[in-house]
Structure formats: structure tokens, C-alpha cells
Structure 1
């Protein structure tokens, strides 16, 4: 590995702000990251397409391929980061800092660090003949709306079956991940009637109605956890978390409006759409009983639960190269989007998810060389003619 070149590439990616967020205050484009990757990949003899994401200014996906035919390998990653806690970093989030055998920087592990790893692996095959194509995917908005991954399907990616295998390079500590939970995020808004608190009959308390809704959701959660269990997860059941609640404006006024946001993390065998419909049916009963208006808004369309066959060729190859059995995780990735396009998929990359989404994010340098070896092994296995 050319350590200097690796560091330069990672520093260049970290330097480019590419935060994606549901908040307009934070949200920005990824197009500069995409163009930087495009330049590097074109220099390595890749055919590069930059595909704008409709409805999102300065946001795009990148598809870069080398080699022709069908049944190739995809190395996929997102180019955006989460927002950062300004003032809580020990260093500038946009300046790669080399300290304590770690590289610090926003996105260093989640997941800009995967791209220099992939490039270093590709450079080992500079003069090789590719029997099957190698495809690099770089997407937008994984950390917020998943608009990039959704756009890939709309843009016709893999309609010709050029890709058979895919590795999503999220930070897994170099352990192959064959299964993860899904996620959906919702907001409930209840509208009642304000009034003087001295007489409850003068209004209709939205906060009390929300109490009933939350009780109904907790019962629903219990039913889901009794019905769905998978021992492959550390938390073997689906989870539902009540994240924030707001309502009312004064102690002596009957609360007219109350809103609550929650997430639901399903396990394989469950459907986000089915869960959302079941929730709508349950809260409709509460709305009728309490004579209030209840609206359910989807904050994040969601990621479906993901599971790849542990006996698949890709999982077996990754386990052999990593010298580690495949595992399951609770967080969600773009893996199910690729799987739905008919591609065997797993999640595998350097760094730890424990370092993501927090101040002083870092990638341990000891992970880099083994990651390049593993990705090189996968390229050799699925793209290079075997003698």
C-alpha cells in the first residue's frame, strides 16, 4: 500500500463538506465528493457516469465500471456524512488528523474511508484482465433520506444484470455482516381543543390522547416482540423507541396540540409498509374514541430489514478472507436496496460503527491494510480469470 497516497485521498475526501440531513440548516450537496472520486477512477481506467438525483440540487450518484459482461462485483458506499457537533471536536472535523495511530475526521470511518481502501485494492490490478466487471457505486443521502439509493433503481442500475455481487463498505470492524434490522421513522400529530384548565369540558386534551396512543403503540410493540424473534441479533426482537414529544404551551390551558416522533426497527420477515398500516389502523380507533384528529407522517421512508443467505458464494468468500464468521447488526445500511436489484449483498468495511455519528470520529490505522487485502481478495475472486 502506498500509505502517503492513501492518506492524501482520505484527507481530500474529509476536507469536502457533504453533510446530509432532514434539517435544511445542515443539508448540503455531495457533488464535489462525486467529482473527486470520478477523477481518481477515470485515472484507473474506469468508465464513469455521474447521475444527478432528481429534486436534489448538487446531489448525485456515481457509477464507475471497469470490464465488460455480467455477474460482476459492486463496491458500494455513501459519500455523505451526518452533521457534526461544532465546538466538541478536539480537532477540525474537516482536516484529517493523524494521532494515536488513528485518522480523525468527519466521515473518516462512516464512510469516506472505504473509498481510498477500494482504490488501493484496485491499483493492485492495474494491468489485470477483468473477466467480470468491477463496479464502484457512490451514493448521496444515505444518512438522511436514502434518495441516492432510491434513485439507483429509478435510473435503471443493474437492469442488464451486470452486477451479481455487492459489498457495502460500512464500518464493520472487518467482520462480514449478512443481516441487519430495518428502520422507519414516524411523527404523530394530535389536534384537540384548547380551553381553560379549570373545566376539562371546555376543551379536548391532545396530550391525554397522546398518552392513549403511546399506550396503544407499547401494546403493539409487545405483540410484535412476541411474534417476531431472531436469535442472530444481540437484541433478538424488533424495537420501537419514543424519541421526542412536544405539546401544549401553558399549565393553565388545555393542550390543543401534541406531537411525538418514534422509530421502529424491524427484523427480517417483517415489512415497514405493513407495520405502518397496522399503526394507522390502531391510532384511528383512538382518534374516534377521543374525538381528536391524529395525523401520521413518515419522516424517513425507511430501510427494509436485510438478510443474505449465509451459504451464498459471496458470504462464504468474505468469511474465508476475513477469517471470521458472518454476523448480524442492529443498524441499517443501503444493502437491501442493492439486494432488491437482484444482487447478492453483504456489508463489510474498515472501522467501527461505535466511532460513527459522534465528535472525534476516527478510523484505526491498523484496519486499513487488512481491509485492502480483503477487498483485493474479493476483486480477485469475482472479477479476475482464475487459472
Structure 2
């Protein structure tokens, strides 16, 4: 059987040998054998293991698709994710100070989407298997908070009540200050009896809120999230940072970047992750495309104490980016766009008189593209802070400071 030497890790965590040949769950320096299927290696056996290979901390790792990198030592994963950021920037001809990556601890994910399905004997829940639609049960998952893991039984009960044998429910569970916030998609169409039954589950299970597709079935208490001095009740399914640890480090980087600025614009503001903490020291204009998230942000600010003025606008920044004259009188800009980046908005920032930008990104490639545009427009990329809040995955986030 042909041997292959793994030379590097790819963007998604696969080991890559000359060819290229892609070998899942292998590491640089390893010699492996397997069956070649196109460019992919199957039935892999490790002939010479890497010194960076470790025993996976979770017994579900090989079958579950929730993690990609538990077979690698933490320092290797940290170096690889930092390299992803470096390579994205280098592809645009950019070099800067990249700070040591910050990694969220195990069992710290505060939101998870469980796959739940009815079975002949009842129901089951877990995550999808690796490259599969199969549901893998994960009673000892090392990724999510223990409170979330315990919610698997709730997902199973909901599957029995409102699922079908042919479909898999997606049950998204988020921790909040007052209990679990549960949103379900892929279930039976809602009717009177199902609504009554689901409301009873919300009560007996002590959930903060239960949403079926887009309808809030019951809410025992607003599932609030704490942003600085403000308690915010996000709409069902609203974006949140994956871990409190990761959020804190991204926020610290943003605060450093805009320190001393008295008037700040927060673009793609969501429910106020950055807006409300920044409002302790600065007046903030929050701009967000989803009106429901803007409403939640505003209500949280109005109920809080000790915050400066926060104004807000519901506006699609892809179709209607802020124009240069709208930045007048503001000292700094914060932006945290989706994975597509903020190309159109970046063009307008360059044309404005803005001199300081804090850019938070979940996609190093689109971040590097936008930063290259900003550098061409007179900005300097001062530093980048990588943040790994999707532990053991191929995903990496970052915050950065740009100035001119």
C-alpha cells in the first residue's frame, strides 16, 4: 500500500500530502497509508505519528462531525489558526503585528444546534456525523456548556411531539441569564393542539422561551443576555458570539482600538455586543440590518443605568452603506460584518474622514480583502488579535485596529 507523507494542514484541517492528496485527521510530518479516492485518502492508517498527535479528549470525536481537530495538540492548532490569518493577509501583500491567539476553554460554547429525530423506540439527538446526515448521540460532548448538553433530552422530547420519522429537527439551544432559549425548525406545521402541547413543554422544562419555526410559542421570562450594564432580550435566532470567553476578548480588542474616542459608529451592530459596553465611555450610533435586533438593543439601553446616549438605525449596509458625510463628527468606527465582509461599506469609509477603525471578522479571507482596500485608501493595519472561540474546529475569528 502506498505511503504518503503529510506536509501541511489545509484550510479545513485536513492533512495534505504531495499531489495534493487530502487526508482527514492527519498531521504534518506523519507518514500514512490509505486508499486513494480521487484526491482524497480513505481508510487511513498512521504509520509514523506526529509528536503533536494527542488522544482526543472526547470519546465521540471519530464519529461526530462537531469537531475537526481534537487529535492535535493545542499549540499546533493555535499555530495553524494563526497561520490561516497570516496567509490570508500575505495573499494581499499585507504584513502586520499578529498577537498570540486566544482560545476559549472546553465546554464553553453557549449555543448549539442539536439534530433530533424520532425513532421506532422514541427519539434521539446529537450532532450530525462526520460528512453524514446520520445523527450521532453525544452524551459526553466536551464542546458545549454542561447546561446545553443536558438540553438534549428537551430536543428529544420535542422530536417526539412535533417531529416526523422522515425529517430531522434542528433544535437550537442558547443559554441565557434566566434559562434556556430554544428554537426549533424542520418540525410539523403548527396547529392548535401542537401549540398547547409545546407551551406545556416550555412550562414543565422551565425554558425561558420556546420558538417553533418563526412563532414564539411560549415565554416564561425574557431570555436576556448581559452586555455591559444592559440586559438585552435578543429575538429568536439572533446572532451571538459563540462563547462568553471569546466575546470578552473581542470586546477588549475593540475597546482598545477606540479608547479615548467620544463618538463611535458601530456597524453591523447586532443586539449591541459592542455598542452597549462602548456606551459606558462614548456616545454610540448603532447600525444594523435586522430591525428586531435594533429594537432589542434599544430596549436594553433604555432600561440600563450609567450608559451614554445610544442612537440606532435599521439599515441594510450591503444595499445602503453609510456614505462619507454620515461619518462626520464621529471619532471611530467599529464593524463586525458577516462572513461576506464589508466591501461596499469599506469603500465609503475610505472616502470619509474616519481615522480609526476596529474591524471584527469571522472570515480572514474577506477581512484581508477589505483591509487591502483600506490600506490602498491610506489606512495602516496596526495589529490583529486572533480569537479561537470555535475550539477544535477550522474556524478562526479576529479583531483588528486600523488607523490613518
Q: What band does the TM-score fall into relative to the shorter chain?
A: under 0.3
TM-score, scaled relative to structure 1 = 0.24
TM-score of the two chains, using structure 2 as the length reference: 0.23
